[in-house]
Amino acid sequence: MSQEKRVIVALSGGVDSAVAALLLRDAGYNVECLHMTNWEDDGYCESAADFQDARRVARQLGLPLHRVNFSAEYAGQVFAEFLTESRAGRTPNPDVLCNREIKFGTMRRHAARLGADYLATGHYARLCAVDGQAQLMKGTDSSKDQSYFLHAVSATAFEGVLFPLGAMLKSDVRRHARAAGLANAEKKDSTGICFIGERRFREFLARYLPVETGPMKEPGGRVVGEHQGLAFYTLGQRQGLAVGGLSGFGPEPWYVAGKDPETNTLTVVQGAGHPMLSQNWLAAEAAHWINEPPGAWQNGAALRCRAKTRYRQTEQPCSVLRTGSTSLEVLFEAPQRALTPGQFVVFYQGERCLGGAKIVAAEMRDLALEAAG
């Protein structure tokens, strides 16, 4: 690879982006690194530690490191939406917005200003060109595939993007890091909110949203406890409910099954197999297709594909029907657990990620009646 091809690698401080920089350097690219600070609202020390890790890696690899602060952009384009969705009782996914608005929006434009021919990240996903357009494909490591979080990025924003880890297993990434003696070779993967870090979620969110307590009821209407605010709970949640030992109820654990913002009521049910925890139909809005919308969806016919509604889920067979210019509904062949408004349903055909939409409602429907209708 010609030394004239300049690559800016988004160097987070984690092992994945470090190995991405290592591989591109060894492949002969002219590599420079870019570390973003996107959160500094409360002086949380994790971002400072990440920068120090990124600086050590860049020094080890002999690569220049740029540092940039996108905190204002993150606050306005990602965190503000996160709070709006939370206030409405939904469960947002800020990682999806962060990828669209910051990593492949603001950061991509900044890399271009630095003269980059390519932008590279440590995502576990692949890109392939078809008819001159980038198509997003799942990462080879199914346990790390991040196409779910990338579904809202457009094909044009993927132009000039490299995913060096897309065809690799995580174990191979660790092996490369150890062999190169990278300082962060054993650093654990981040599982917190994008750029905000790992927190006690309820305590963190309470700094930005008022604590509005309300009744916690079982489906029959009996109050079984008090919730601390609908924003602090998600459908299917078991931990943190503080319900138990009630007369007239068995020993099975309780789960969140519904949220009603109008009455500020949290509905809880007993048992992981309770029917209220499963739905086979959802409505979604703000549909985004990475490339051209599938022909069936454009023509008003049912699109047969697979979809998942959570990152760690295996794609499930479904039918997708267009209900408006950017709205749709999805009918799954089998019931799905805790379909959650605010989260995203993401569509796949084989290895290819087609795009996705934000869930706004879900319920269990009678498939026989659907077929008859």
Sheet holding 254-260, edge to edge: 223-227, 214-217, 265-270, 254-260
15-26 helix and 46-61 helix, angle to the nearest 10 degrees: 20
Active site residue 128: no
Question: Which domain does 311 fall in, by range?
Answer: 278-372
| 1 lies in some domain | no
320: helix, strand or coil:
strand
Rounded Cα–Cα distance for residues 301 and 139 (Å): 30
Same domain? 172 vs 235: no
149 and 255 in one domain? no
CATH number of the domain that residue 224 is part of: 2.30.30.280
CATH code of the domain covering residue 66? 3.40.50.620
End-to-end Cα spacing for the chain:
59
| CATH of residue 351 | 2.40.30.10
Dump the DSSP string for 26-87.
Answer: HTT-EEEEEEEE---SS--THHHHHHHHHHHHHHHHT--EEEEE-HHHHIIIIIHHHHHHHH
Q: Are residues 80 and 154 in the same domain?
A: yes
Whether 53 is covered by a domain: the verdict is yes
pLDDT (0 to 100) of residue 44: 54
Domain annotation covers residue 199: no
Q: Are residues 267 and 299 in the same domain?
A: no
Same-domain pairing of 12 and 102: yes
Total domains in the chain come to 3
Residue with tokens 């023509």: 299
User: Does 194 map to a domain?
Assistant: no
In a domain, 184, yes or no: no
Length of the chain: 373
Alpha helices in the chain, H assignment, sequence order:
15-26, 46-61, 71-74, 80-87, 94-97, 107-113, 147-150, 170-179, 201-205, 295-298, 367-372
* Model pLDDT, residue 169: 97
User: Is residue 195 situated within a structural domain?
Assistant: no
pLDDT in tens, the chain (373 residues): 456 799 999 999 999 999 999 999 999 999 999 999 887 765 555 777 888 999 999 999 999 999 999 999 999 999 999 999 998 889 999 999 999 999 999 999 999 999 999 999 999 999 999 888 899 999 999 999 999 999 999 999 999 999 999 999 999 999 999 999 999 988 888 765 554 555 567 777 888 888 899 999 999 999 999 999 998 999 999 988 988 778 778 888 999 999 999 999 999 999 999 999 999 999 999 999 999 998 888 888 999 999 999 998 999 999 999 999 999 999 999 999 999 999 999 999 999 999 999 999 999 988 654 554 4
Same domain, 307 and 348: yes
Q: Measured between alpha carbons, how far is residue 310 from residues 33, 93, 149, 212, 362 in Å?
A: 31, 10, 10, 27, 14
Residue 77 lies in a domain: yes
Catalytic annotation, pick one of 33, 194, 305, 353: 194
State the pTM of this model: 0.92
Residues 11 and 43 in one domain: yes
Based on the domain organization, do 23 and 140 belong to the same domain?
yes
Give the pLDDT score at 193.
58
Domain stops at, among 225, 252, 272: 272
Is residue 193 situated within a structural domain? Answer: no
Q: CA 213 → CA 79, 202, 232, 240, distances in Å?
A: 23, 13, 10, 14
Q: Considering 33, 98, 305, 318, which one is annotated as catalytic? A: 98
* Whether 288 and 174 share a structural domain: no
In angstroms, rounded to a whole number, what is the distance separating the alpha carbons of residues 320 and 177? 42
The token pair that represents 287 in the structure block: 């549909």
Q: What's the angle, vertex CA 229, arms to CA 226 and CA 232, rounded to 5?
A: 110
- Estimate to the nearest angstrom the gap between the alpha carbon of 52 and the chain centroid: 26
Same domain assignment for residues 231 and 293: no
Dig out the tokens for 157 from the structure.
């924003």
Given 134, 158, 179, the domain boundary residue is 179
Same domain, 91 and 14: yes
- The DSSP bridge partners found for residue 259 are 266
Beta bridge partner(s), residue 127: 136
Q: Annotated catalytic, 98? A: yes
Whether residue 216 sits in one domain with residue 137: no
Q: What is the pLDDT of residue 3?
A: 60
**End position of a domain, from candidates 243, 272, 301:** 272
CA 27 to chain centre: 30
